[in-house]
Structure 1
Amino acid sequence: MGRYSFLGFGIRDGFHFSDGKGTVTHRGALSEVEFDDPLRVLESELASIRMLADPELPRFQGGAVGYLGFDCVRYFEGIPLPDSPGLGLPEGILLFPDELMIFDHLRHRLTFVVHMKMDGDRESAYQHGCDRLLQLVDHYSGAVLSAEDAWDADLQPALNQSATHNRDDANLAAAIEQAREAIVEGEVFQVVLSRRTTVDCKLDPFDLYRALRALNPSPYMFFFRFDEFSVVGASPEVLVRLEDGEVLVRPIAGTRPRGDTQEQDRALEQELLADEKELAEHRMLVDLARNDVGRVARVGSVSVQDPLRIERYSHVMHIVTDVHGRLRDDCSAFDVFRACFPAGTVSGAPKIRAMELIARLEPDRRGPYAGAVGYFDFNGNMDTCIAIRTLVAESERVHIQAGAGIVFDSVAERELEECGNKSIVGLAAIARAMTRREKP
């Protein structure tokens, strides 16, 4: 789990888009835009604001927050997309909260942040900000979580609702074989293929978030409630982070399920670290990350740190490595994002050809899955995670998508099993949230 949690509200500005067209909201007023690259629109919006950061607060104090779906590859690399729109959601939504609640889980402290626009009567703006802070403190200071609202992380009920897939086992196995043929022909070293699981159910998306948080606490927990759908996630993996000129990418590749006992867990760790296929795949993705970071980093500044370590989560364990670099003076957070998006761990290597194969071998567009969730702040910093272990909740359906990296010696049965292992926690969270809803 991360040290801080952020709750954003007072949202009057935003940007949502699809198919080269978008809507920008300014203080409730809407304007339509067309673009070749959505990041240029976002960059223009952020460039008009500079914020005086408070060194006593965590690194995010305001900016654009939301998601950029995997299908944004069409803008950055000209990759074609499958004809089927999949879930038909916006390709991206970024929101600008005027007010923040910041929870410091280490110090057990709650901080309120209110943004003041200093382009008019500064004294009036300052007084309004102070008044609003007092209102927030007064309103929320008495809020406590009652015992009946607590969540038991050990309770994992079975999912009784029927689940469907956007492709069956035979279809995915055939796609895996086609990917292997492309690998044999030397087109790619790896390609990540996925499938989406849909559960018909009615639940409160925030219950789903709380269930996921209890079952699978992760470095990146997020909950976005939009008008027609919600995005809920517990991602273990940084896509790319830029903080004070330091670029970080953390490839996660190589997976085993958790053991039932400590002895089984250690045995599975040793098995994973001895698996040449998993190690080769991981090293390849580390090299890809080094190349991505190298596109925007100063010469000689790219380094690999803490390689091939094991990180454990509720249902799986992974191999992880850190890749660092120092940002060039002529590059920005948006250049960093373009260079590193999408992550090689959800696309493959080389990335462009792998993405072309994904467009041909997957039945529909991915939507938020395998894209980015995070923020671009007002002072040029950025932190994004990969949208994995991520659920999309609609009024009567919840979707979760998971993938597996296909390489030369992949076995379809094992890759299908990996997709299933990566979906377990999401399905458990759905079941848990359904159990909550059914209580009298």
Structure 2
Amino acid sequence: MKELFIVELDYLSDSSPYFEPFSEQPWACYLDSCSSSFKKEPHNRYDIITANPWAVVTVDDKNSIKVINHVTGETHLKNNQSPFTVLDDLLGTMTKVDDTELPFTGGALGFWGYELCSLIEPEKIQPRQLETPLMSVGLYHWAIICDHHQKKTIFFSHPDMPEIDRDNTLARIKKSTRARTTTFQLQEKFSTTISETEYEEAFNKVQEYILAGDTYEVNLTQEFTSRYSGDCWQAYKHLRKVSPAPYSAYLAHPGITVLSHSPERFIRVTNRNVETHPIKGTRPRGQSPEEDLAHAEELLASEKDRSENLMIVDLLRNDLGKVCKPGSIRVPRLFELESYTNVHHLVSTVTGELSEKHSILELMEGSFPGGSVTGAPKIRSMEIIRELEATSRNVYCGAIGYISCNDKMDSSITIRTLVAQNHKLHCWGGGAIVADSDCHQEYLESVTKVKNLMTALESFCE
């Protein structure tokens, strides 16, 4: 075990200025807890900023797995392996770090798109044609960590990082935290890629599958698109003020930028203790305190929403049970209310203890994609989603997160997420369809979940 090189920086309650000098660097990543917008909670303690990975693992729409080593300049194809295994092997080449305090001490960080399900279940799920990677994960030697509980900010470099690279990165941090003066412009208002009639046809088909006994619950989504010009970092900074979320993220990877404002944790691992926080059950915020309270109470009392949530809790108990120690799975929190700027949610917590026989990435692969964005049973629901949804989910409904050299992991489910590519913005909303769902209400819910994001960006229209 070796130690990190650590330099303490000035603490900022808003850490985004530290990202400014790196926002245009290769594979720049900002994991943003939006801490100043929430009361002190375990899930909004840290922000993580990094860029310039020493290696990258990507997967394209032909399921071709590419490893780019920026140190040697070599590129290798690993098409006969799982991308999770490839990433696990690369992580294994990095020096283990004797630091249990920091959440991230160098390692893997990036996104895993929903459409990876076609690689995980190749005999069940047909791949889609995509211009964006199914997965894009860098391996990093340094980061800025902002700890909002201790009100400390540090820069660290991993023992494997060359001293010259460390010094250059530190110099960039100290040189400037001034805001960029670029602009963002939305060219048109968001439009849906399907009509409400087409949504109804897909909804009715889901109901047929439910009545036939194929599935109990299917997460049906729709896509919204617009065109933009300028700098997506300016758009993200605006959205994090309008719609703060504890698992927000900004990832600027070559050819694709991800602006995520997720309220939902996927998986966290600390000392081999595993936890996941599925969201299922939604109501809009009210226009008055009285209406808002009524909506919250209605959600808490809703048998339908509690049933939806319970189905996903059971699914996740099964997913975690594949790689956790027998008897370790628990549900310490069931049907609890969490409230955000635009919606109330029902949230549960499932925990377990990772078996010594399995790695963190085996846990992730066995649980991916998150059950709250598929339905139950998972594989059959994903088949139905592939049949009925006209467009790709892309990064949406996948995951953003990190796996650290100190054997920690944290990740979010990429809901409330926009993807920018080729001057086009993609945004998605969805919800769970069960036997007693109302089509019009489900359609409205899929819009409500992301309307605040779209409306906020439409303020940039001319």
TM-score normalised to the size of structure 2?
0.84
Question: Does residue 1:46 correspond to 2:91, yes or no?
Answer: yes
> What is the CA-CA distance between 1:262 and the residue it aligns to?
2.1
**Who is 2:55 aligned against?**
13
Structure 2 CA distance, aligned partners of 1:171 and 1:139?
51
> What is the CA-CA distance between 1:282 and the residue it aligns to?
1.0
Q: Secondary structure at the match of 1:202?
A: strand
Which residue identity lines up with residue 63 of structure 1 in the other structure?
A: G
Question: Does residue 1:420 correspond to 2:447, yes or no?
Answer: yes
Structure 1 CA distance, aligned partners of 2:455 and 2:96?
41
Structure 1 CA distance, aligned partners of 2:293 and 2:105?
40
Q: Is the 8 A contact 2:192 2:223 kept in 1?
A: yes
**Who is 2:145 aligned against?**
102
Q: Is the 8 A contact 1:35 1:41 kept in 2?
A: no
Q: More displaced, 338-347 or 177-186?
A: 338-347
Structure 1 CA distance, aligned partners of 2:336 and 2:427?
27
Q: Secondary structure at the match of 1:420?
A: helix
2:362 to 335, 358, 362: 335
Structure 2 CA distance, aligned partners of 1:253 and 1:200?
31
Q: More displaced, 164-173 or 274-283?
A: 164-173
Q: Percent of aligned pairs with the same residue? A: 31
**Who is 1:121 aligned against?**
none
Any stretches of 5+ residues in structure 2 without a counterpart? 1-32, 34-43
2:299 to 260, 272, 294: 272
**Who is 2:196 aligned against?**
169
Q: Is the 8 A contact 2:220 2:433 kept in 1?
A: yes
1:283 to 286, 310, 315: 310
Change (3 A) 1:22 1:409: same
Structure 2 CA distance, aligned partners of 1:108 and 1:145?
21
Q: Is the 8 A contact 1:20 1:35 kept in 2?
A: no
> What is the CA-CA distance between 1:416 and the residue it aligns to?
0.6
Alignment of 1:24-103 (within 5 A): 24-26=67-69, 27=71, 28-56=73-101, 58-78=102-122, 80-81=124-125, 84-85=128-129, 87-103=130-146
Structure 1 CA distance, aligned partners of 2:58 and 2:309?
34
Change (3 A) 1:132 1:75: closer
Q: More displaced, 360-369 or 102-111?
A: 102-111
Alignment of 1:254-269 (within 5 A): 254-269=281-296
Which residue identity lines up with residue 25 of structure 1 in the other structure?
A: I
**Who is 2:15 aligned against?**
none
Structure 2 CA distance, aligned partners of 1:251 and 1:83?
26
Q: Secondary structure at the match of 1:201?
A: strand
Structure 1 CA distance, aligned partners of 2:318 and 2:147?
35
Q: More displaced, 200-209 or 400-409?
A: 200-209
**Who is 2:271 aligned against?**
244
Q: Secondary structure at the match of 2:208?
A: helix
Structure 1 CA distance, aligned partners of 2:280 and 2:326?
27
Change (3 A) 1:74 1:380: farther
Q: Is the 8 A contact 2:84 2:362 kept in 1?
A: no
Q: Secondary structure at the match of 1:373?
A: strand
1:179-229 Cα deviation digits (max 9, x unpaired): 001001111100111111001221311112212211122121111112212
Which residue identity lines up with residue 382 of structure 1 in the other structure?
A: M
Structure 1 CA distance, aligned partners of 2:422 and 2:117?
28
Structure 2 CA distance, aligned partners of 1:346 and 1:397?
24
**Who is 2:36 aligned against?**
none
> What is the CA-CA distance between 1:35 and the residue it aligns to?
2.8
Q: Secondary structure at the match of 1:217?
A: coil
Change (3 A) 1:35 1:422: farther
**Who is 2:210 aligned against?**
183
Q: Is the 8 A contact 1:165 1:196 kept in 2?
A: yes
> What is the CA-CA distance between 1:80 and the residue it aligns to?
4.2
> What is the CA-CA distance between 1:132 and the residue it aligns to?
5.7
Q: Is the 8 A contact 1:12 1:97 kept in 2?
A: yes
Question: Does residue 1:374 correspond to 2:401, yes or no?
Answer: yes
Q: Is the 8 A contact 1:81 1:365 kept in 2?
A: no
Structure 2 CA distance, aligned partners of 1:245 and 1:237?
20
Structure 2 CA distance, aligned partners of 1:212 and 1:82?
34
2:173 to 114, 117, 140: 140
Structure 1 CA distance, aligned partners of 2:272 and 2:46?
21
TM-score normalised to the size of structure 1?
0.88
Question: Does residue 1:400 correspond to 2:411, yes or no?
Answer: no
Change (3 A) 1:225 1:185: same
Q: Secondary structure at the match of 2:188?
A: coil
1:396-421 Cα deviation digits (max 9, x unpaired): 21110111111001111111101101
1:245-265 Cα deviation digits (max 9, x unpaired): 111111110000111222221
1:317-339 Cα deviation digits (max 9, x unpaired): 10011111111121111221122
Question: Does residue 1:364 correspond to 2:391, yes or no?
Answer: yes
Give the aligned CA root-mean-square deviation in angstroms: 2.3
Change (3 A) 1:134 1:42: closer
Q: Secondary structure at the match of 1:34?
A: coil
